[in-house]
Chain A
């Protein structure tokens, strides 16, 4: 992240000295926020651990060994073993991988569809009403109902979980994007671009979307934590990833049956979810304060 940070900071260096005194670059302000830096570094570590899971552990997340069931932590299995005698640390690494993959894919897909709807609604006045009515309808469903309904129609599984999380992210992203895009639409450069004959596509992409991007990204970071939580809850209910899949919510649910004599089996995945969501929320809040204070209600 340090590289990206410096890249982003360099345009600020080109502004005048007086400006620099008045207003520090957002990234530098972000770097001064200790909680945000901590949260960001933690998330990077988690992502790296998830990507390199196979290199970090000698065990297989799906190899069962009934003689090793529900063992407490020791030198070989640092965090103990679960109901199938599988190494919990290994399953946590692979579980984080699954959970993050589901969360990131859902936020990206839902964010893309939502942002597209919001931009189109702001750009083409004719589409505004139909799109925003559709968004209203979608917003009228609590996200848990998407999860229940889609799991009921398609059957419980990762596919329905992904679909439910995607759909539940769309309406709020669309609304936020439309709000930001409407402000950009009133800028003079939009009209100037149109006057010199820039095509609709270029206007939408270069002029409109790029100017809304920071708002969208900040909102998606904030949405990410909620998506992970919802996904974990649905998996915990048995409506998402199915056992023996290593997924954090599913693992917490599996451990529930042994809560009284082996509490660590369900506590560890729960704590992992909590830490990831907390870090995402802290980072999202800090990004919002620095980049886009308007989003604060």
Chain B
């Protein structure tokens, strides 16, 4: 198993370099000369040249890339063009809301998806199965912004049931909870379909296994067969597949945050790109990519832990 984890870590190295290269490229496309900006309008040509030298701007590009990696490793992501605060502090304020939103979405969507998928598998070919699968295909085909717009239009505006703008304090207050409700329903909503689909496939596979037949032959009750023997074994592939869908969830989060003015990393990234704030865009993309890598790695390790066959293979 240790070998498996080390292998995964080694695969992450080129990915990590790719992410850093994108970040570096983003800072290269900045149309103005950073040294001129830093020196100010009254600086002499010599001053600018001196600053260029000290910033390493006269070095070859590959060397500048190394300098960039060094700076990122020290947590120096530059300053936002617009607010002039450090990118790191801007990012620091947005990470917690994004994690909150992700958790609030997954906490109801994954159990619901597993429930629906299991029901569909048990009633395979029946009306319930077909209804759940139709719902699932519709869910996968739904543009997330349409779902969100409908919630805003009806629940938020027409019936005035829940707020739909921004975040209001921590989740354990009623105010905070009511503000996260609509974004979490939107983001979780697009996740139910895929989870139900994956669960159905996984449970169907396990239901055909020998040990399920043995359990039935022993006279184990149907409910127990499904809960203890089938679902528990199916959970391993489900966990992995759900983990691998985190990228899909991330895409939804970017849209959801932007729509509901939720102050997370995704909204920050979109805002920075639209307003050409390159350092901030670079930082936000870097953070999104790194957290995605970390989640993937965690899922992989979890998988190896849950299913010992993976490590040995």
A152 and B288 contact, Cβ closer than 8 Å, known pairs A136-B11, A237-B270, A281-B140: no
A58 contacts partner chain B, Cβ-Cβ < 8 Å? no
Interface size on B, residues (CB 8 A): 52
| B231 contact set on A, CB distance < 8 A | none
Q: Interface residues of A: mostly helix, strand, loop or mixed?
A: helix
Which of A143, A145, A232, A273 gathers the greatest number of chain B CB atoms within 10 Å?
A: A145
Interface size on A, residues (CB 8 A): 46
B236 contacts partner chain A, Cβ-Cβ < 8 Å? no
Would A238 and B255 count as touching, CB distance under 8 A? no
Q: Interface residues of B: mostly helix, strand, loop or mixed?
A: helix
| B22 contact set on A, CB distance < 8 A | 149, 153
A199 contacts partner chain B, Cβ-Cβ < 8 Å? no
In whole Å, how far is B122's beta carbon from the nearest beta carbon of chain A? Answer: 19
Q: How far is the CA of A157 from the CA of B21 in the complex (A)?
A: 22
| B293 contact set on A, CB distance < 8 A | 140
Would A145 and B292 count as touching, CB distance under 8 A? yes
In whole Å, how far is B151's beta carbon from the nearest beta carbon of chain A? Answer: 11
Would A278 and B138 count as touching, CB distance under 8 A? yes
- Residues of B164-184 at the interface with A, using a CB-CB cut-off of 8 Å, are none
B247 contacts partner chain A, Cβ-Cβ < 8 Å? yes
Would B137 and A153 count as touching, CB distance under 8 A? no
Q: A151-B273, A153-B25, A249-B145 are in contact. List 6 more A-B contacts (CB 8 A).
A: A144-B247, A152-B272, A229-B141, A232-B143, A237-B255, A270-B145
B305 contacts partner chain A, Cβ-Cβ < 8 Å? no
Residues of A within 8 A of B (CB): 133, 136-137, 140-145, 148-149, 151-153, 155-156, 225, 229-230, 232-233, 236-239, 249, 252-253, 256, 259-260, 263, 266-267, 270-271, 273-274, 277-278, 280-282, 285, 296-297
Would B251 and A144 count as touching, CB distance under 8 A? yes
| A237 contact set on B, CB distance < 8 A | 254-255, 258, 270
In whole Å, how far is B160's beta carbon from the nearest beta carbon of chain A? Answer: 12
